[in-house]
Amino acid sequence: MAQLSGVAIPGLGQAAPTAASSAPAVAASVAVHELQANSEWRFEVAIGRSIEVKVLSGTAELFGTELALNHTYTFRGTKAAIFTWHGCRIEVTGACEEYTAEETPMVLYVNTHFALEKLRDDASKGKGESPRVLVVGPTNAGKTSLVKLLTAYAIRMGRQPMVINTDSREGLLSIPGSLTATPFASIIDVEQGWGSSPTSGPSPVPVKLPLCYYYGLPSPEDNTRLFKPVLTRMALAATSRLSDDQAIKDSGMIIDTPGVVSQGKGGYDLISHIVSEFSVNIILVLGSERLHSDMLRRFSGYRTTTGETITLVKLDKSGGCVDRDDEFMRQTREAAIREYFFGDPKRTLSPHTQQVNFDDATIYKIREANPMLASFLPGGEEDTELELYEKVEPSSMILNCILAVMYAALNDSQETIRDATVMGFVYVAEVDEKKRRMKILAPLNTRITDRPMIWGSWPEATMSLIG
């Protein structure tokens, strides 16, 4: 891999960083901040709250995406950071937790980007393979932020990277519970997080078209017998997409992972599975000396399907990484679900309601691994005799739950349903067990009874979206 030091964007200084300049404080309703070169304004906006930010002068970026001058950006329920290479003035309207830091790992991150660019240039000239990057690290180490930053920088260079999300706790252009593979050819919408997908309604930024698969559990370790084949199917589809489009193939992949896979032997096996299925040739280890050491031992002699060795790079996590507590994550999931059906303040959607008889619905419930049962099996293996899903009749148990409608036929095998992509999601708004009927909320007015639906425990039953 290209050298990761001594590379910098022309004009970007590499002055020695200093400590954060102030402790977190509550911002005034309207404030103007002068940010020095190579500093970062970090902010947290509570769920249900919003702030407006405008760059008055200078240059600034959010996770690698450049912010336009004198344009008002609205941020809702998020934790993020605005970085400046040359200094800038920003105007902030609204209250948030915020502070300015002058110690950031941005020089390391941008050097990593340029090393990946060198590999992309070589790949386009037929001198090697494009980078297929896996980002690993503990929970709340800033993995998704790094993936977003590397993606944004690649887009700014005219690339079209394929971004893979293997973390079902969070959705990427989909709701939590799903795994996605998405080619990025257009700018990332900084206000929307990753941007919008076709179900999000009209958008000033072109929509992304994710390949979406459903896992429906919070952790890969909850059911590896389901997670691994779903991941394999997504890898096959993503690899096929790369082979069909030279621009995407030359740009390569950037793969995000859940923190749990970096925390123990079972997780390391899942990392090996991801490395194998996606032919990963670069692993970025974020914020963990021990994990880096373990990855070196595990992959030192490993070769990809194309005969490449794996390059391991250890990166510092940003000092702006903060723990996102369970309550914040729950509220974030609920906000994502509400946005999927109703849109956001800029784009209002009108979902359709339909009555579905119990007898017309085909619902499969995901079986969760039984840790007590697994403890009696050799090596903690899972019972492979059980089917992946249990066919269930609708009941009050599915009230306020999300169902994934699959691109499959009702008489398809469970393996075929498992490997299918997601057609969309519906929300169970009412269940009448006496009349054997339920009310479904769907983003589009399409018939769903001729498709199998999967009910998982993730995302968990949410608040009522109606009423």
CATH number for the domain spanning 208: value is 3.40.50.300
Q: Which of 315, 336, 368 is the last residue of a domain?
A: 315
Q: Are 280 and 389 contained in the same domain? A: no
180 is a domain residue: yes
Blockwise average pLDDT, block size 10, the chain, 467 residues:
36 36 58 96 92 97 96 93 97 94 94 98 93 95 95 96 96 92 90 67 61 95 95 96 94 96 84 96 94 93 85 91 84 89 83 94 88 47 73 95 96 96 94 96 88 95 75
Q: Are 151 and 254 contained in the same domain? A: yes
Q: Which of 101, 121, 146 is the last residue of a domain?
A: 101
140 is annotated as contributing to ligand binding: yes
378 is a domain residue: yes
Q: Are 296 and 211 contained in the same domain? A: yes
79 is annotated as contributing to ligand binding: yes
Q: Are 69 and 127 contained in the same domain? A: no
Q: Are 396 and 260 contained in the same domain? A: no
Q: In this structure, what CATH number is given to the domain that contains residue 47?
A: 2.60.120.1030
Q: Are 90 and 135 contained in the same domain? A: no
181 is annotated as contributing to ligand binding: no
Would you state the pLDDT for residue 26? Answer: 53
Would you state the pLDDT for residue 62? Answer: 96
Q: Are 260 and 151 contained in the same domain? A: yes
Would you state the pLDDT for residue 207? Answer: 60
36 is a domain residue: yes
Q: Are 97 and 111 contained in the same domain? A: no
Would you state the pLDDT for residue 182? Answer: 94
3-state secondary structure string across the chain:
CCCCCCCCCCCCCCCCCCCCCCCCEECCCEEEEEECCCEEEEEECCCCCEEEEEEEEECCEECCEECCECCEEEEECCEEEEEECCCEEEEEECCCEEEEECCCCHHHHHHHHHHHHHHHHHHHCCCCCCCEEEEECCCCCCHHHHHHHHHHHHHHCCCCCEEEECCCCCCCCCCCCEEEEEECCCCCCCCCCCCCCHHHCCCCCCCCCCEEEECCCCCHHHCHHHHHHHHHHHHHHHHHHHHHCHHHHHHCEEEECCHHHHCCHHHHHHHHHHHHHCCCCEEEEECCHHHHHHHHHHHCCCECCCCCECEEEEECCCCCCCCCCHHHHHHHHHHHHHHHHHECCCCECCCEEEEEEHHHCCEEEECCCCHHHHCCCHHHCCCCCCCCEEEECCCHHHCCCEEEEECCCCCCCHHHHHHCCEEEEEEEEEEECCCCEEEEEECCCCCCCCCCEEECCCCCCCCCCCC
463 is a domain residue: no
14 is a domain residue: no
Domain that holds residue 134: 106-315
324 is a domain residue: no
Q: Are 158 and 263 contained in the same domain? A: yes
Would you state the pLDDT for residue 9? Answer: 33
265 is annotated as contributing to ligand binding: no
DSSP bridge partners of 82: 41, 62
247 is annotated as contributing to ligand binding: no
33 is a domain residue: yes
Number of structural domains (the chain) is 3
Nearest to 454 by CA among 403, 419, 388: 403
40 is annotated as contributing to ligand binding: yes
Q: In this structure, what CATH number is given to the domain that contains residue 423?
A: 2.40.30.330
